[in-house]
Amino acid sequence: MRVSSLFGAMALVASLLGVTASSIQAIQLADGTVSFEKPPRLVKATTTYNQADISGATYYFTIELPENAGEPLQKVTINQRQGFDDIRFDLDDSRAFEGTPRNKGERLTLAAVTKDDETQTISVTFDPPVTPGKTITVGLRPRRNPWTGGVYLFGVTAFPAGEKPYGLYLGVGRLHFYDNDRDFPSDS
């Protein structure tokens, strides 16, 4: 189902269930659950270093929050979904800013960066929440790039501000790491 059809259907069901719309046109269900009017979009995932088994990299996840999102962005979660090695992060060295990695803007204040060890999900909470109409980037610092090269996939979910936010899955950020020469025989 296309995203626009999904939101149209959600609006119809919401109206039948007694949904109220605030002055900024967010979707709020009768039970208090809040959702975005127009969904944020995962623009890109990149890394500063794509060589396996090195330190000093930053993984960037760029998200566009449309002007008509209806609610500010409170939290983003990032979960490694595929890859041979489990990547460990230095959560204290996380960052977020307006713009993209190549065009950094104002730094955003993070209320918390936490990890759920059971689900291997990192949560980045903004304080204050990010207002609609901005493109932001979250930067996570791994302790080291994975030992084993290959494709690593990270699921990204966005949550609006509110006591009962409905998380919206934005898609997969894909990072490809390349093995260094240790795995290849020489030609001599």
Q: pLDDT tens digits for 89-98?
A: 999 999 999 9
Task: Count CB atoms within 10 A of the CB of residue 186.
Answer: 5
Q: pLDDT tens digits for 40-64?
A: 999 999 999 999 999 999 999 999 9
CA distance 142 to 117: 16
CA distance 107 to 52: 29
Residue 6 has pLDDT above 90, yes or no: no
Q: pLDDT tens digits for 58-98?
A: 999 999 999 999 999 999 999 999 999 999 999 999 999 99
pLDDT band at 10 (very low <50, low <70, confident <90, very high): very low
Cβ burial of 155 (10 Å; 0-12, 13-18, 19+) is middle
Query: Which stretches of the chain are assigned E, i.e. beta strand?
Result: 20-21, 27-28, 33-35, 41-47, 59-65, 73-82, 95-100, 103-107, 110-116, 121-130, 134-140, 150-160, 164-165, 168-177
Query: pTM of the predicted model, to two decimals?
Result: 0.81
Q: pLDDT tens digits for 98-154?
A: 999 999 999 999 999 999 989 989 999 999 999 999 999 999 999 999 999 999 999
Q: Measuring CA to CA, which residue among 61, 50, 55, 82 is closest to residue 177?
A: 50
pLDDT band at 181 (very low <50, low <70, confident <90, very high): low
Least confident of 109-113, 155-159, 184-188: 184-188
- Across 97-116, b (16+ Cβ under 10 Å) vs e yields beebbeeeeeebeeeebeee
